[in-house]
Structure formats: C-alpha cells, structure tokens
Amino acid sequence: MGRLLGAALVFLLTLSAPAGTRHCIFRVHLEANARDGEVFAQPIRSITGRTVFIEKIPWLSERDVQRFCPYRAADGSYGALLELDDHGRTVLDSMSVEHRGSYLYVFINGRPLTEFQVDRRVSDGKIYLASGLSEADIKSMARDWELIGGRKKK
C-alpha cells in the first residue's frame, strides 16, 4: 500500500512539473476573415501598416522548430533560417497547399516580424526570416534550439 501511495505521489508531482521553459516565442498565424468574429480572429496592424485579421490560434509555434541558422542581415539586424521538426514540416506543407494565396504572419517574442504570401507549396520544412531579429532574439533562440550544422548552445 505504501509503495502504491508513493508511486501515485511521484506520478502527480511529475504531472505538475513544468515541461520546460522556452526562451524564444515563435508563432505563425494565418490570415483570417474579418467576419469570423472575435472568437476566431483578431485584428492586428501588420508591418506594412494595414489592419488585418489573423487567426487567434497559431499554426506553428516554437515547439515545431528543431534547429536554426542565424546570420547578420544587410540592414544590421539578424536573420535566421528555421528548420522545423516532422510535425511542423507537415503543418507547413498542408498550410501551403490548402491556403495558397493567403498571408502568414510571423511573430517573434510577441512582436510582428514579417509576413509572407503563400505562393507555392513548401514541403522542405524551412522558414527563412530575412531580417528584423535582434541580438537578444538570436540568444533566446540559441537557448532553445540546436544550430544547423552545430550543437545546441547552453
């Protein structure tokens, strides 16, 4: 009886323990219809200055990213190539087929970074962020994801 109670206690403690803290918040939202209502869509100001509606639930998140490769962009900021895991690759592939012509909005650490128009199928599981990342963004990515062609920094 004592072993059973001890095992149950250990099980409950592991359920309540955090699964791991993420340092970089990455979200990809799909463009939504303004008539979808506030339950499903929310308005944002895009980086182009337009007011657009995006789906509240992101299609991709930081949990779908497996590795990344940062670089210095021409404007002095940073860019990165993100490589998705199997789940992220499947979601990106499906989204690029089902929602061709729509816009994707990428957010890093809570701020809008870029927007893409889906013009072709993307089956390689890679997202290219050309510029706009800060040094702090790159450091937070390095704490969560492995470098492409290298080891995960600690």
Residue 127 has pLDDT above 80, yes or no: yes
pLDDT tens digits, one per residue of 47-93 = 989 999 999 999 999 999 999 999 999 999 999 999 999 999 999 99
User: pLDDT class for 12, splitting at 50, 70, 90?
Assistant: very low
Instruction: Give the three-class secondary structure for 20.
Output: coil
pLDDT tens digits, one per residue of 81-124 = 999 999 999 999 999 999 999 999 999 999 999 999 999 999 99
Predicted confidence at residue 151, as pLDDT, reads 60
- Name which residue leads in pLDDT, 72 or 15: 72
Residue 6 has pLDDT above 50, yes or no: no
Please tell me the distance from the alpha carbon of residue 133 to that of residue 18, in angstroms, as a whole number: 28
Please tell me the distance from the alpha carbon of residue 59 to that of residue 92, in angstroms, as a whole number: 8
- Name which residue leads in pLDDT, 76 or 8: 76
DSSP secondary structure of 65-131: EEEEEEEE-TTSSEEEEEEE-HHHHHHHHHHHHHTTT-EEEEEETTEEEEEEE--S---S-EEEEEE
Architecture of the domain delimited by 23-147: 2-Layer Sandwich (3.30)
State mean pLDDT over 129-140: 96
Residue 5 has pLDDT above 80, yes or no: no
Predicted confidence at residue 149, as pLDDT, reads 81
Percent of the chain surpassing pLDDT 70: 84
Please tell me the distance from the alpha carbon of residue 69 to that of residue 6, in angstroms, as a whole number: 45
For the chain, the structural domain boundaries read 23-147
